[in-house]
Chains A and B, each alone.
Chain A
């Protein structure tokens, strides 16, 4: 008999059963893919570093003698280490040739180095297999270069490298996952070539640097190492290397938020659907009770039905979760090995969890059966008792036209039913707003000060590559002078300056550290930078330090600290504290009056131009074009673009890509939820719709009534999401910026985009979906008034 009842039920209530099935599939897909993604994202870096055998400490130097000095030191204290030589290649000398044509240059402008496979960390191909051999004429690139949208590189394309009169063409063997050089934050990338090809270029003329990887858990290592006082390009430890993947982690954090929101959405959907469909069953439950069928038997019928539906839904959701999860995490897996990506057991467990949740909801809902009399059940679970009135507004007391009134009144009378929709829509809009706020902040000019740069109008990407010699200062001065002359000839007056970077050892009392240091070269003064506290360093013996440096060496404004620049050690008074995102918050700012030894300069930022006549937006665009013509070999950026380029333009592109992906996913979710909910409402309200038709309401009015309810809920969701977006952006993405060294974050909010454009797109598409679904009202005949409760 149970089977007979179920068979009839499934056929007769086809619409509601199909809606329930679709929602279960959705929930299982979202939950299974999101939980797997969350696990992948949160443990990705640790797992990747472990597999790649990333060292505990890593430093690079341009001086062979210093590596030998370290060798003695390591042998003395018995530290395990690997040393590797890398050749530095000018990006201008690398050309790519793809199927789509020949690009004159590779679309990468930071430092490129080539190395052979020996004495490196473990490197992996795109399928996460370890790369053990590279044949002559083959080359592996990091994801940052390989997936760059400009070049559209593919396996089999060719790359031609020229250096000091030697040229060689390589076939791209693949994209490699390189834990050391894979992060865009490190500001350089690595190409992997064979031993023979390496030796071909290694002729003593090419710039070289030496990478040393140290494996030790000796807590005294850093103190001992600092005493060596090596001149390094950079030095970092395991934790700092992890932080270098922070931009990938921003992407991961966005994905994490997406996953959490999708899980929340799924739970809300499930609760709504089960409760809604169960309320449909009450009338029949009442009849069954009335004819004497026992509660347990009735319950068994419904639990069997929901088990069958949820099992089909759960299994379908499991299969769909695999491609869906891969779609969401596709970008992140380009740079690192994600654990559990192919461990689908978790997806299966989640899918069965959804089945269990459905059964639990069903069990709880049917539990009410015991307390109802047959008549209560026939009355849809209402026993007639009510302690509050239904509507808050009355048609006879307002001037609202009937259709908007009915829409508002329905929402106010069935708050629980519409609350589910409100939560889903709010989460959806938040999911769009938070990544947009993050992208706009990353692209904004305010980041300039976070990277220890003075405000400017344009940046020319002519970063200096310094060798350890005394010509560095004249190289900088000549370049700046050359630019000054060229733009003056075109009648443009501007301050022209460049940030020169050093690595210096700084100490206060017994505390010591190695930090990045900056000095502006050209027409720039220290008062053009932003500080958190104190005043700009004005004199030779004054410096500003970042709050991370201040914290590490326990120094404050007014203290006298010792800084070593090359061979010279001097005392400086701290006059200011500032924040920087360079090297995770490390920084020292020197006065332009201080005469630093440029032979120890490690590098520079681009050349900045600040026009004297404060041109408008259009004129700035004209000048950008002028600069492009004057300096065809260099890239010209606005400050925001330059920062994006520095912190890894591909990260912004990735987050930007995910912004569109999220928008599409949210639109799909909203449409699906709207279509299914409107369909459920219409099924439930068939009788009322028929009454309204009977008393003379036109189909058009009734469709507007249904669509208006969705519109109102969506409008309320937009307001709610708008109010929550700023605190939630701070809560979710803020800590990542703080980890990078930025203490005071003001999210860049573009009101037109965030509060108008995207909500309008969501509103339009969702209401359209609601309206189209509501057209099925036309099929309801006035004679169906008998279906009214």
Chain B
């Protein structure tokens, strides 16, 4: 499979009160197209920083991030914005949406802004509605964002991230703010999307969530300490076994 994302000696440093804080230290890894990779690690290990650095949302201090053959450090702000609009999708722990827009408007906004997406406004709306239907939230299309539940809103965020058919979705603890049922629903949708061919990189603390991925990267103090490969997740019957094996490995890693 082709590599979609690769890092070479990725470093990220923050200066806080004149003190240098090396959050990421020479991180090297790659993600192939169609993979679903989870990043795990203790709090403050640099998981979210890694996600924001490889997605071009944050500037890196040193090293390279290669996305589909392009070194992100060499791209201008405009090119990075275009990349985020057309080839990447983002899901956050909190369901960040524009409060003055309805749920459907929030979802189709990136499509309307995209120049690559040449479909008509009507087709974009249709596409947004199809995604909502698929994620079972079509009933809340015209609602304000504060009229819906957290689970529904996170699914709406997934719809928004999918609207321009991205090559990769970055998710920062997508189930972190959800209850168990909502969390399972959201992961169900993400695995479906992955099965349809979209690469996913997510940050999580939850073994249940990570167990649904094809690979887990374990990060400690800004370094990838190890990685654990899993087969493609097919059915919930095998989930318990995946969780158990992943747990064992995590214990070995010092989780």
Contact = CB atoms under 8 A, between A and B. Distances in A.
B17 to A, nearest CB: 14
Interface stretch (B66-74, B98-106, B188-196, B224-232): B98-106
Contact of A414 (B100, B112, B146): B100
Interface stretch (B1-9, B76-84, B211-219): B76-84
Interface string A694-728: 11111111000000000000000000000000000
B100 A410 contact: yes
Interface stretch (B86-94, B200-208, B235-243): B86-94
A778 B109 CA distance: 20
Interface of B: 52, 57-58, 77-78, 81-86, 88, 90, 92, 94, 96-102, 104-105, 108-110, 112-114, 121, 125, 128, 142, 144, 146, 160, 164
Contacts of B113: 402-403, 695-697, 701
Given A391-B100, A696-B164, 7 more contacts: A386-B144, A390-B144, A692-B98, A693-B84, A694-B84, A695-B90, A782-B52
Where chain B touches its partner, the secondary structure class is helix
B112 to A, nearest CB: 4
Nearest to B53: A783
Contacts of B105: 391, 394-396
Contacts of B121: 396, 398-399
B96 A698 contact: no
A786 interface: yes
Nearest to B52: A783
Contact of B128 (A391, A396, A783, A788): A396
Contacts of A396: 102, 104-105, 108, 121, 125, 128
Nearest to A413: B100
Interface in A376-416: 384, 386, 389-391, 394-396, 398-399, 401-403, 405-406, 409-410, 413-414
A396 B82 CA distance: 22
Contact of B144 (A389, A687, A778, A781): A389
A783 B112 CA distance: 23
Where chain A touches its partner, the secondary structure class is helix
B99 A789 contact: yes
Contacts of B85: 695-697
Nearest to A785: B96
Contacts, number: 103
Contacts of B110: 695-696
Interface residues of A, number: 41
A208 to B, nearest CB: 79
**A-B pairs with the 6 shortest C-beta distances?**
A696-B85, A782-B57, A413-B100, A395-B105, A696-B84, A698-B81
B184 to A, nearest CB: 25
A401 B114 contact: no
A773 to B, nearest CB: 19
A410 B105 CA distance: 13
A183 B109 CA distance: 66
Given A394-B105, A701-B113, A695 B58 contact: no
Given A396-B104, A413-B100, A693-B81, A781 B146 contact: no
A693 B52 CA distance: 13
B12 to A, nearest CB: 11
Contacts of B101: 391, 395, 409
A405 B101 CA distance: 10
B109 A390 contact: no
Nearest to A685: B98
A691 B106 CA distance: 11
Nearest to A701: B113
A395 B84 contact: no
Given A395-B108, A687-B96, A783-B58, A695 B144 contact: no
B117 to A, nearest CB: 11
B189 to A, nearest CB: 18
B82 A782 contact: no
A755 B83 CA distance: 44
A650 to B, nearest CB: 54
A390 B58 contact: no
Contact of A688 (B57, B78, B98): B98
A697 B106 CA distance: 13
A694 B153 CA distance: 17
Nearest to A691: B96
A391 B102 contact: yes
Nearest to B121: A399
A786 B173 CA distance: 13
30 contacts: A386-B146, A390-B144, A391-B100, A394-B105, A395-B104, A398-B121, A409-B100, A410-B100, A690-B96, A691-B98, A692-B98, A693-B81, A693-B84, A694-B84, A694-B90, A695-B90, A695-B110, A695-B113, A695-B160, A696-B85, A696-B114, A697-B85, A699-B77, A699-B78, A778-B77, A783-B57, A785-B92, A785-B94, A786-B94, A788-B94
A695 B77 CA distance: 13
Interface in A226-281: none
B78 A696 contact: no
Nearest to B90: A694
A395 B96 contact: no
Contacts of B96: 687, 690-691, 694, 785, 788
A783 B105 CA distance: 23
Contact of A700 (B78, B92, B98): B78
Contacts of B97: 691
A485 B128 CA distance: 88
B236 to A, nearest CB: 32
Contact of B100 (A384, A390, A398, A692): A390
Contacts of B102: 391, 394, 396
Given A414-B100, A699-B77, A402 B109 contact: yes
Contacts of A398: 121
Nearest to A784: B57
Given A384-B146, A694-B84, A781 B57 contact: yes
Contact of B81 (A386, A403, A687, A696): A696
Contacts of A692: 98
A405 B108 CA distance: 13
A379 to B, nearest CB: 9
Most chain A beta-carbon neighbours within 10 Å: one of B57, B104, B108 = B57
Contacts of A414: 100
Most chain B beta-carbon neighbours within 10 Å: one of A691, A695, A783 = A695
Contacts of A413: 100
A699 B57 contact: no
Contacts of A691: 96-98
Contacts of B112: 395, 401-402, 405
Interface in A193-251: none
B103 to A, nearest CB: 10
A695 B99 contact: no
A695 B94 contact: no
Most chain B beta-carbon neighbours within 10 Å: one of A696, A697, A785, A789 = A696
B78 A695 contact: no
A778 B114 CA distance: 20
Contacts of B104: 394-396
A315 to B, nearest CB: 35
Contact of B57 (A409, A694, A778): A694
B242 to A, nearest CB: 31
B109 A395 contact: yes
Contacts of B98: 406, 688, 691-692
Nearest to A699: B77
A395 B142 CA distance: 11
A386 B144 CA distance: 10
Nearest to B97: A691
A699 B102 CA distance: 23
A699 B58 contact: no
A699 B114 CA distance: 14
A690 B113 CA distance: 16
Most chain B beta-carbon neighbours within 10 Å: one of A384, A410, A694, A699 = A694
B58 A781 contact: yes
A700 B82 CA distance: 12
Given A402-B112, A782-B57, A390 B81 contact: no
